[in-house]
Chains A and B, each alone.
Chain A
Amino acid sequence: MNLVLKVWRQRNAEEPGQLETIEAPSINPDMSFLEMLDVVNERLVAENKEPIAYDHDCREGICGACSLVINGVAHGPDRGTTTCQLHMRRFHSGDEIVIEPFRARAFPVIRDLVVDRSSLDRIIQSGGYVSVSTGGTPDANEIPIPKRAADVAMDAAACIGCGACVAACKNASAMLFVSAKAAHLAHIPQGAPERLERARSMVARMDEETFGACTNTSDCEAVCPKEISIEFIGELNRDFRQALLAGR
């Protein structure tokens, strides 16, 4: 297939960026989207041009490193799929593909398509854990957990922390991400004691990191590669209100 790419190029956080048109002829439809970019990069280098920078690592849809807004959609056109798992057979010869970074105030551009998502880590650091230290824990089977509760916790825990939810949201809110972590821990007994405090501190940190507020547009759910449900946002909102009432 022959494609025309419009790729966001930006040297660093300070300099302005712009879309650059790059021809991508003879692309094999069995390639993944990132393999297509690899090939484009090889060709750029052969012409003594600098390769396009993009984040990636596992290429299996689990590490959350890959990003990219493809034709206006975070992670591209396939539902429940990360960019690294998207294949070129999804496109047609002659297509023009616009490739941009995940954009949000809380995600400054580092270079080209690479952004800084450490704000998400700082939200977890503010309370996205159970406060236990290594050692001295009870036998794993001491507290039975209903299968349903464990399954819901796992649904939420499946979040890969990619930030697509933020990129898709017109307010650049991180509520889907935050609520997924909150729900993972809130649904199991080990996480219950700190439930309200956790909700309060993670939401506060989210605000400090300049993420926007959630207005329930559910664009986040639509692009989430793990199809995490916005029901968790409702749960987090309830916990957050309760935490405020309890004065935590």
Chain B
Amino acid sequence: MRLESGVPSGPLADKWDKHRAEMKLVNPANKRRFRIIVVGSGLAGGSAAASLAELGYDVDCFCFQDSPRRAHSIAAQGGINAAKNYQNDGDSIWRLFYDTIKGGDYRSREANVYRLAQVSVNIIDQCVAQGVPFAREYGGLLDNRSFGGAQVSRTFYARGQTGQQLLLGAYQALSRQIHAKKVTMHTRTEMLDLVVSGGRAVGIITRNLVTGEILSWAGDAVVLATGGYGNAFYLSTNAKGCNVTASFRAYKRGAGFANPCFTQIHPTCIPVSGEYQSKLTLMSESLRNDGRVWVPTEGGDQRAPTAIPEAERDYYLERRYPSFGNLVPRDVASRAAKRVCDEGRGVGKSGLGVYLDFNDAIKRMGKDVVEQKYGNLFHMYQKITDENPYATPMRIFPAVHYTMGGLWVDYNLMSNVPGLHVIGEANFSDHGANRLGASALMQGLADGYFVLPYTIGNYLATAGPSPVKTDHDDFSRTAAEVSDRTRRLVGRKGHRTPDHFHRALGQILWDHCGMGRNSAGLEKALKEIPALRQEFWEDVCVLGGDREYNVALEHAGRVADFLEFGEIMVRDALERRESCGGHFREEYRTSEGEAVRDDEGHAHAAVWEFQGADKAPVRHREEMSFEFVTPSTRSYK
């Protein structure tokens, strides 16, 4: 597997400009001769499909929801970062770059992250021009907040619905191109395979979720913008439909999967309340700006939180990390919560929860101000838990939230399979081993509006049109394999639903490949997952037919992929013998319990190559070398 990052030479700040000047261009009159397949209509896919169509390419865009506007990006609450320095508080492109690469624990590519910081400023201009109603100050200028522990205020937001508003902006741009007949939108359509011919990505195979029809689509390039795989854990903050199928199918056709074990566990989610739980709800990170996190000093304390005196409370983040306190990064906050719960000091019925207390904030600012800032979140919390957070502290617990791992891409966002590009959360991304708040939206839009539309031109100008159409053998063979697989699933009269297996897999991953990982647990998971997979194929129940709307079939297909993919996550976690970012190996920590990174042995992206159904995948590396920053130990003490 060739893993050439293709990072241009020269000073960091000039690389992208230089690269843009050197890339080949497609003649404007020729653009309409190229057809580009974009899978996904979230921030990444929606913005890319619209921008490519504006440039003149013909685009086919796919999503599994009934409308492109419902992509999971819609759910993002907090905000989007950009190095505008509107607040005059010392922000700059360099600072955003530095924070992001440090926050990622030095496991991402310098040049990519720098470019991300550079184009961040264009994103805000673009969104405002589209009509995104960002929050404003009384003078009419844009408001910012500080987010996720950043030392500057660089986060733009639209109430608690930033993702919604940004996605609607991209959706509207996309709708304009659908109207102009430059984009053909295919909703309720699931990509089930990638077609590779002569070593080049030439199309996809889809299943129409309403009619069950399996179809082939040819394109001169394929773009995957299919989001993250957090739902491998079953319970996560992701929308129910999020899945790994598109990326995983591409992996099986030769695309390298990078850092699959890098997952982000978000510290402030509503704890699990029962067996029936279908998903976890995120409480925005902004709550940590004013809420204080604590547990009782003694385990087994059954008193109501308001009855526990100050002296018997342990504000453990403030105690352990005096300079950052409640605002330590997500991975640190999550692990600290796990630790106090492991010590038996967790709260709530399950003992898996910590308090997030607004009592002091209400005393300091008054209830009205707290309500103004967080009213909608408090309301949501009360609806779900039936508890009033103005009167009693919230209970929170970490939950799976985001996946930094994904398909490997070079500087041009192209995978190792020529023609296959991967953008947004689906690629292995610019976030290294840990993503900072408000930077996923930034990356999705950077990729879709401002990076891919340039770099794909370079590919098309170099490779030329694809010689292969849907009547080619490689299409028929791949389509036949997809049909076969669908038929193997449908009509199975086992005893258990796909959901049952999904939950079981989620539990294995959460127990052994979650917040704390160790070799014994990972080895155990490596035995349990194949056994569960076998059970799935023997005992899953998928009623109904394949030529109709069939939710169980849809779900079973995704679970089958998670059952294979989960194993690769575990392998990756086992092989990464260090702790970095969200990946915490219990064997590699200081006596105080802090992560110990191994830059000598592990400053690389681990890229997995598929070898065949019953063979172990091969692990390759792309070394991360740091020319412009010096990796330091992240300390938030």
Q: Please give the residue numbers on chain A whose beta carbons come within 8 Å of chain B beta carbons, in ascending order.
A: 11-12, 28, 30-32, 34-35, 38-39, 41-42, 45-46, 48-51, 53, 55-65, 81, 85, 87, 89, 110-111, 114, 116-118, 120-121, 124-135, 137-141, 143-147, 150, 153-154, 157-158, 160-161, 184-185, 188, 190-191
Q: Which residues of A contact B292 (CB under 8 A)?
A: none
7 closest pairs, A vs B, by CB? A144-B140, A129-B172, A137-B129, A140-B128, A153-B133, A133-B54, A154-B133
The chain A residue with its CB closest to the CB of B237 is A60
> Do residues A45 and B549 form an inter-chain contact, with CB atoms below 8 A?
no
Q: Check A30–B210 contact: CB distance below 8 A.
A: no
Known contacts: A30-B274, A42-B499, A184-B133. The answer to whether A139 contacts B175 by CB under 8 A is no
**A141 CA to B198 CA in the complex, in Å?**
49
- For B171, list chain A residues within 8 Å (CB): 124
Interface status of B6 (Cβ within 8 A of chain A)? no
Bound CA span A48–B549, Å:
17
> Which A residues are in CB contact (< 8 Å) with B165?
154, 157
Q: Does B468 contact A (CB under 8 A)?
A: no
Asked whether, in the complex, the Cβ of B137 is within 8 Å of the Cβ of A134, the reply is no
Can you give 30 A-B contacts (C-beta < 8 A)?
A11-B548, A30-B274, A51-B543, A57-B65, A58-B240, A59-B239, A60-B380, A61-B380, A62-B161, A85-B383, A121-B69, A129-B175, A130-B172, A132-B130, A133-B54, A135-B126, A135-B450, A140-B125, A140-B142, A141-B86, A144-B141, A147-B140, A150-B133, A150-B135, A150-B136, A154-B135, A157-B168, A158-B164, A160-B164, A188-B133
CB proximity of A36 to chain B, nearest CB, Å: 8
When the two chains form their complex, are residues A58 and B384 in contact, meaning their CB atoms are under 8 A apart?
Answer: no
List residues 335-386 of chain B with CB under 8 A from any CB of chain A: 380, 383-384, 386
Q: Which residue of B lies closest to A120 (CB)?
A: B67
Nearest Cβ in chain B — how far from A192, in angstroms?
Answer: 10
> Closest B-chain residue to A145, C-beta based?
B140
Q: Judge if B544 is at the interface, Cβ distance under 8 Å.
A: yes
Interface mask (B256-292 → A, CB under 8 Å = 1, otherwise 0): 0000000000000000011011110100000000000
Residue on B with the closest CB to A156? B133
Cα distance A177–B178 in the bound complex, in angstroms: 20
B158 vs chain A, min Cβ distance (A): 6
B380: chain A residues within 8 A (beta carbon): 60-61, 85
Contact B277 A57 (CB under 8 A): no
Across the interface, name the chain B residue whose C-beta is closest to A28. B274
| Shortest distance from the beta carbon of B357 to any chain A beta carbon, whole Å | 23
Taking a contact as CB atoms closer than 8 A, the residue among B68, B175, B277, B548 that contacts A35 in the complex is: B277
The answer to whether B72 touches A117 (Cβ under 8 A) is: no
Contact A147 B136 (CB under 8 A): yes
Partner of A57, one of B135, B159, B168, B240: B240
Is there a chain A Cβ closer than 8 Å to B560's Cβ?
no
B127 contact set on A, CB distance < 8 A = 140
| A-side contacts of B544, CB under 8 Å | 50
- Are B172 and A188 in contact (CB-based, < 8 A)? no
The answer to whether the Cβ of B134 comes within 8 Å of any Cβ in the partner chain is yes
Which A residues are CB-close (under 8 A) to B129? Answer: 130, 132, 137-138, 190
User: Cα distance A35–B384 when bound, in Å?
Assistant: 12
A60 touches B67 (CB 8 A): no
Q: Would you call A121 and B75 a contact (CB within 8 A)?
A: no
CA distance A96 to B178 in the complex (A): 44
Instruction: Give the nearest-CB partner of B76 in chain A.
Output: A62
Chain A: which residue is nearest B241 at the CB level? A57
- B100 at interface by CB-CB < 8 Å: no
Residue of B47, B163, B240, B500 most packed against chain A (CB within 10 A): B240
Q: Specify the chain B residue showing the minimal Cβ separation from A85.
A: B383
Residues of B contacting A63 in the complex (Cβ-Cβ under 8 angstroms): 65, 70, 72, 74-75, 239
B207 within 8 A of A: no
Residue in B134, B135, B140, B281 with the greatest tally of chain A CB atoms within 10 Å: B140
- A161, B552: Cα distance in complex, Å: 26
Is there an interface contact between B276 and A39, defined as CB atoms closer than 8 Å? yes
Interface residue tally for chain B (C-beta within 8 Å):
80
B173 in contact (CB, < 8 A): yes
Judge whether B485 is part of the interface by a CB distance below 8 angstroms. Answer: no
A-B pairs with CB below 8 Å: how many?
214
Is B497 interfacial (CB-CB < 8 Å)? yes
A7 CB → nearest B CB, Å:
14
Contact of B66 among A53, A65, A127 (CB under 8 A): A65
User: Are A137 and B128 within 8 A (Cβ)?
Assistant: yes
* Bound Cα distance A129, B170 (Å): 10
By a CB distance below 8 angstroms, the chain B residues around A154 are: 133, 135, 158-159, 165
Does B453 have its Cβ within 8 Å of any Cβ on chain A?
Answer: yes
B67 CB → nearest A CB, Å: 5
User: Considering only CB atoms, which chain A residue lies closest to B211 in the complex?
Assistant: A12
The minimal Cβ–Cβ distance linking B353 to chain A, given in whole angstroms, is: 15
- Chain B residue at minimal CB-CB distance from A117: B66
Which chain B residues border A55 with CB–CB below 8 Å? 66
* B431 on the A face (CB < 8 A): no
Q: Is there a chain A Cβ closer than 8 Å to B84's Cβ?
A: yes
What is the bound-complex CA distance between A111 and B453, given in angstroms? 38
Interface status of B138 (Cβ within 8 A of chain A): yes
B124 within 8 A of partner (CB)? yes
Instruction: Enumerate chain A residues within 8 angstroms of B130, measured Cβ to Cβ.
Output: 129-130, 132, 190
A72 → chain B closest CB, angstroms? 22
- In the assembled complex, the Cα of A128 lies from the Cα of B126 at a distance in Å of 17
- Nearest CB to that of B47 among chain A residues? A134
Is B477 located at the chain interface by the 8 A CB criterion? Answer: no
| A139 and B497 alpha carbons, distance in the complex (Å) | 53
B65 touches A134 (CB 8 A): no
Name the contact of A65 in the complex, choosing from B65, B122, B158, B178 (C-beta under 8 A). B65
Contact B67 A161 (CB under 8 A): yes
Across-interface contacts of B552 in A (CB, < 8 A): 45, 50-51
Say yes or no: B175 contacts A137, CB within 8 Å: no
A39 CB contacts on chain B under 8 angstroms: 276
A-contacting residues, B442-488, CB 8 Å: 449-450, 453
Assess the A129–B69 pair: CB atoms within 8 A: no
A48 and B66 within 8 A (CB): no
CA–CA, A110 and B211, complex, Å: 10
A65, B543: Cβ atoms closer than 8 Å? no
CB nearest to A53 among chain B residues:
B551
Q: Is B108 an interface residue (CB 8 A)?
A: no
* Docked-complex contact A46 and B383, CB < 8 angstroms: no
Q: How far is the CA of A130 from the CA of B126 in the complex (A)?
A: 11
Question: Is the CB–CB distance between B240 and A48 below 8 Å?
Answer: no
In Å, the complex CA distance between A114 and B65 comes to 12
Q: How far is the CA of A111 from the CA of B66 in the complex (A)?
A: 13
Contact: B276 with A28, CB < 8 Å?
Answer: yes
> If A42-B499, A134-B453 touch, does A125 touch B178 (CB 8 Å cutoff)?
yes
Most buried by A among B129, B185, B240: B129
**Docked pose: A50 CA to B304 CA in angstroms:** 45
Q: Which residue of A lies closest to B51 (CB)?
A: A134
The distance from the CB of A44 to the nearest CB of chain B, in whole angstroms, is: 9
Q: Closest B-chain residue to A144, C-beta based?
A: B140
Inter-chain contact B549/A111, CB cutoff 8 Å: yes
Residues of B within 8 A of A85 (CB): 380, 383-384
